[in-house]
Chains A and B, each alone.
Chain A
Amino acid sequence: MSESHAAPVSEPPALSYREINRDIVATLAPGGKIYWMSVLTLFGIFNIAMLAWMYQIFVGLGVAGITHPNGWGVYIITFVFWVGIAHSGTLISAVLFLFRARWRMPVYRTAEAMTVFAVMTAGLFPLIHVGRVWKAYWLMPYPNQRYLWPNFKSPLMWDVLAVSTYFTISFLFFYFGLIPDIAAARDRSTGLRRKIYNVLCFGWTGRGTHWQHYRKAYLIFAGIATPLVVSVHSVVSWDFAMSIIPGWHTTIFPPYFVAGAIHSGLAMVITLLIPLRRVFNVKHIIRVAHLEALALVTIATGLVVGYAYGIEFFIAAYSGNVYEQTIFTDPTWGRPFGPYWWSFWIMAICNCVFPLLFLWRRVRTSIAWLFIISILINVGMWFERFVIIITSLSTDYIPYNWGYYVPSWVEITILIGSFAWFFLLFLLFAKHLPSISMTEIKELVPAPSSKETRR
Chain B
Amino acid sequence: MGFGVGSAAQDSNNEWRKQRKGNFDRLDLLVVERNATEVFDPTGSGVGVRARCREGRVINLEGNPEHPGSNGSISARVAAQTQGLYNPDRLAKPLRRTDGGQLAEIEWPEAMETLRIWFRERLDAGRAGAIAWLTGEIADSDAAVIEAFAQALGTRPPVNLRLQPEGNLAAAARDLFGYSGVPEYRIDQATFLVSFGADFLETWGDPVAQIGAFTKMHAHREGVVGRAIYVGPRQSSTAASCDRWVKLAPGKEAAALRVLIEGIGAGEAAHALSTVPLAAAQQVLGDELSRTLLALGQEVAAAEAPLVIANGSGPDGAQARALALLATHLAGGTGRTIIFPQVPRPPRGARHGEVKSLLDDVQSGAVEMLLVHSANPAFLMPGGRAALEAAGTVVHFGTQHDETAHLADLVLPIHHFLETWGYHQCSASALGLIQPAMRPVPRQLPDDQPYPQHLAGSGTAKLDAGLMRFDSRPFPDTVFLLDAILDTGVFGPSAELPHGLKSAEDHFVARVMAFAAEHPEVMEGLAPAAFLREAKRRGVLIAPVPSQPVTLRSDASLPAQNPVESGSITALLFPHPFLVDGRDADKPWLQEIPETSTAAVWDTWAEIHPATAEGLGVGLGDSITLARDGAEITVPVLPLEQVMQGVIAVPIGNGHERMGRYAAGVGANPMPLAHVAQSGDNLVLHGFTVETRAQAGTGELVRTTFMQTQLGRPLAQATDLAHAGERTDYPGVHFDTGQPGSNLRSMYERHEATVHEQFMWGMTVDLDACVGCGACVAACYAENNVPFVGKELIRKGREMSWLRIEKYVEDTGEVRHLPNLCQHCHNAPCEPVCPVHAAYHTYEGLNGQVYNRCVGTRYCSNNCTYKVRRFNWFDYHHVPEPLNLLFNPDVTVRERGVMEKCTFCTQRIRKGREDARRAVLDQGDEAYQAARPEDGAITPACAQACPAKVFHFGNMADPTHEVNAIRQGPRSYHLLGDLGTRPSVTYLKKVVREGEIAVHTHAAPHDESVVEPATEGSTHAHE
Contacts and interface: CB of A to CB of B under 8 A. Distances in A.
Interface of A: 59-62, 65-72, 126, 129-132, 135-136, 138-139, 148-151, 153-157, 160, 239, 242-245, 249, 319-323, 325-326, 393, 396-404
Contacts of A398: 715, 806, 820, 865-867, 976
Contact of A71 (B709, B820, B861, B1005): B861
A150 B861 contact: no
B858 A71 contact: yes
Contacts of B895: 132
Given A60-B874, A61-B856, A132-B856, A322 B1002 contact: yes
B114 to A, nearest CB: 47
A393 to B, nearest CB: 6
B853 interface: yes
Nearest to B711: A399
A136 B855 contact: yes
A110 to B, nearest CB: 33
B437 to A, nearest CB: 35
A328 to B, nearest CB: 14
Given A132-B855, A396-B867, A399-B709, A67 B862 contact: no
Interface string B873-898: 11100000000000000000001111
Given A68-B797, A131-B854, A160-B835, A245 B872 contact: no
Contacts of A139: 835-836, 855
B820 A400 contact: yes
A63 to B, nearest CB: 8
Contact of B897 (A61, A153, A157, A397): A61
B286 to A, nearest CB: 37
Contacts of A136: 855
Contacts of B1016: 153
Contacts of A62: 793, 798, 873-874
Which 6 A/B pairs are nearest by Cβ-Cβ distance? A131-B856, A131-B897, A62-B873, A71-B858, A399-B707, A60-B874
Contacts of B871: 61, 68, 71, 131
B867 A401 contact: yes
Contacts of A69: 797, 861-862, 867
B806 A244 contact: no
Contacts of A148: 837, 853
Nearest to B896: A60
A130 B897 contact: yes
21 contacts: A60-B873, A130-B897, A131-B896, A131-B897, A132-B898, A138-B855, A148-B853, A153-B1019, A242-B1014, A244-B863, A244-B1014, A322-B712, A322-B1002, A326-B711, A393-B862, A397-B979, A398-B715, A398-B806, A398-B866, A398-B976, A400-B705
A154 B748 CA distance: 17
B647 to A, nearest CB: 26
B854 A156 contact: no
Given A129-B857, A400-B708, A402-B705, 11 more contacts: A60-B896, A67-B796, A67-B873, A68-B870, A71-B871, A131-B856, A242-B1014, A245-B862, A319-B1005, A399-B710, A399-B711
A71 B593 CA distance: 22
A157 B855 CA distance: 13
Interface in B704-757: 705-713, 715
Interface string B262-296: 00000000000000000000000000000000000
Contacts of A150: 835-837
A176 to B, nearest CB: 32
Interface stretch (B8-16, B217-225, B826-834): B826-834
B855 A154 contact: no
A397 B865 contact: yes
B865 A396 contact: yes
B713 A399 contact: yes
Contacts of B867: 68-69, 396-398, 401
Interface of B: 705-713, 715, 793, 796-799, 804, 806, 808, 818, 820, 829, 832-837, 853-859, 861-863, 865-867, 870-875, 895-899, 976, 979, 981, 1002-1006, 1012-1016, 1019
A67 B797 contact: yes
A244 B1015 contact: yes
B855 A402 contact: no
Contacts of A239: 859
B862 A138 contact: no
B806 A400 contact: yes
Contact of B798 (A68, A138, A397): A68
Nearest to B976: A397
B705 A60 contact: no
A121 to B, nearest CB: 19
Contact of B855 (A59, A131, A242): A131
A323 B976 CA distance: 11
Contacts of B804: 400
Contacts of B806: 398, 400
B807 to A, nearest CB: 8
Most central of B709, B858, B862, B867 by chain A CB within 10 Å: B862
B1013 A157 contact: no
A139 B835 CA distance: 6
Nearest to B789: A62
A70 to B, nearest CB: 8
A71 B859 contact: yes
A440 B169 CA distance: 99
Contacts of B796: 65, 67
A243 B715 contact: no
A319 B818 CA distance: 27
A136 B866 CA distance: 27
Contacts of B874: 59-60, 62
A154 B898 contact: no
A75 to B, nearest CB: 10
Q: Which of B712, B865, B898 has the most CB of A within 10 A?
A: B865
Given A132-B898, A400-B804, A151 B835 contact: yes
Contact of B1013 (A138, A242, A322, A400): A242
Contacts of A132: 854-856, 895-898
A155 B1014 contact: yes
Nearest to B599: A400
A249 B1014 CA distance: 10
Given A400-B806, A402-B706, A403-B797, A320 B856 contact: no
Contacts of B829: 243-244
Contacts of B873: 60-62, 67
Nearest to B1018: A153
B746 to A, nearest CB: 14
B92 to A, nearest CB: 31
A319 B711 CA distance: 18
A138 B834 CA distance: 12
A131 B836 contact: no
A397 B1012 CA distance: 15
Given A62-B793, A138-B853, A402-B707, A131 B898 contact: yes
B212 to A, nearest CB: 27
Nearest to A131: B856
A306 B238 CA distance: 52
A149 B857 CA distance: 16
A330 to B, nearest CB: 9
Contacts of A67: 796-798, 873
For B705, B835, B867, B979, which residue has the most chain A Cβ atoms within 10 angstroms? B835
Contacts of B706: 402
B711 A151 contact: no
A325 B856 CA distance: 30
Contacts of A155: 833, 859, 1014
A243 B896 contact: no
A321 B797 CA distance: 27
A106 B670 CA distance: 75
A319 B688 CA distance: 54
A139 to B, nearest CB: 5
Nearest to B979: A244
A154 B866 CA distance: 19
Contacts of B808: 399-400
